[in-house]
Structure 1
Amino acid sequence: METRKVILYISMSVDGFLATKDNDLSWLSIVEKEGEDYGYGVFTNQVDTYLVGRKTYEIVKGLLGGDFPQAKQYECYVITRQSLENADGVQFYNGDISELIARLKVKPGGHIYCDGGAEIVQMLMKQNLIDEYIISVIPIMLGEGIRLFKGGIDKINLKAKPSTYFESGLVQLHYEKA
């Protein structure tokens, strides 16, 4: 059995932002194309656990009228500093992230999908807990906003895996821990 991996699967602008400064994500729609999912379907068939930060969770729920579809599809963990009651298929976790990852990796199942935002990415990177990075670079410069990579981490060596260029201009970069 293959060891479960933590995989960051996320989008960013060419200049490294995952959202505008007011959390607008509408710019992601510039690459929407009928029948093109950029490998998302294949990717999600390999995962059964979903990690997301509380702010990103709240933004997604706000955009979808209070719904959080990931909770219906995956074992879902929202990483937070608050003590919140689990609800609607979501487990709110405010403990040590490395303990959670260690616990998840020894359980049988698919890979672990991390969807952001910047704070959870930084938290995972500080402890070198991300095994693979799949980053869809959207062909737009936002100029300012919320950076995907906040810094404040030690160097992490990566090994390139095949990247993919799409007709829409989206380039999907793929790296794994070296």
Structure 2
Amino acid sequence: MTFTSTVFIGTSLDGYIARPDDDIEWLTSRGERAGDMGYSEFLGSVDAVIMGRNTYDRLIGFGEENWHYGDRHVGVLSTTLPGDADPRITVYRDMDSLVADLDKRGIKHVYPDGGRLIQSFIRAGRVDAFTISVAPVLIGAGHRLFGDLTEDVPLRLVSATDIGGFAQLRYTVQK
């Protein structure tokens, strides 16, 4: 593995990234008050963004003005999205082909985005660091950031910072 992967995401205090109906207003409304929380700087550090199909569909629904990836390589891991769905993206059918192509492209730092995709990266041992901004709210149900794991993933806390009422936690994965 020649590239590193960093997850940058917001959750509720009880560990959800979206409500059961995929709503994230509870996060975005609080996030507006907190500012960008380092996202722009983080995005500037990555040379590839990989997302799952649901995240891609949601992003496209927000409109062209929300495509902030510039000339970075953008991939979508999906078994159903047509390969020619969008000229800005590369569609990957499985993790092995994704990893092989990123290595071939010389990608050094990857941003995996989307709940199920992040879980796939974790299970494959492909996450090196987490930046998790925890919103000051309990939402009680929805899509969890972390799914079932077959083994522990040991982490080392790098920092914990208050950013506009959010607790921003930075961890590295101990491999």
Q: TM-score, normalized by length of structure 2? A: 0.87
Task: Identify the residue that residue 127 of structure 2 maps to in structure 1.
Answer: 130
**d(CA) in 2 for partners of 1:81 and 1:142?**
31
Task: Identify the residue that residue 46 of structure 1 maps to in structure 2.
Answer: 45
Structure 1, unmatched stretches of 5+, are: none
The partner residue of 1:78 within 49, 71, 76 is 76
**d(CA) in 2 for partners of 1:163 and 1:78?**
31
* Corresponding position: 1:92 with 2:91: yes
Aligned-pair identity (%)? 30
Per-residue displacement from partner, 1:98-121 (whole Å, max 9, x unpaired)? 44225424643551111112x112
The code of the aligned residue for 1:30 comes to R
8 A contact 1:158–1:175 mirrored in 2: yes
**d(CA) in 1 for partners of 2:104 and 2:91?**
20
Task: Identify the residue that residue 69 of structure 1 maps to in structure 2.
Answer: 67
Per-residue displacement from partner, 1:61-91 (whole Å, max 9, x unpaired)? 22x1466604544210011122512323011
Q: TM-score, normalized by length of structure 1? A: 0.85
The partner residue of 2:143 within 143, 146, 171 is 146
8 A contact 2:54–2:114 mirrored in 1: no
The code of the aligned residue for 1:122 comes to Q
Task: Identify the residue that residue 6 of structure 1 maps to in structure 2.
Answer: 5
What is the number of residues matched between the two proteins?
A: 171
The partner residue of 1:162 within 153, 159, 163 is 159
8 A contact 1:136–1:173 mirrored in 2: yes
Structure 2, unmatched stretches of 5+, are: none
Task: Identify the residue that residue 21 of structure 2 maps to in structure 1.
Answer: 22
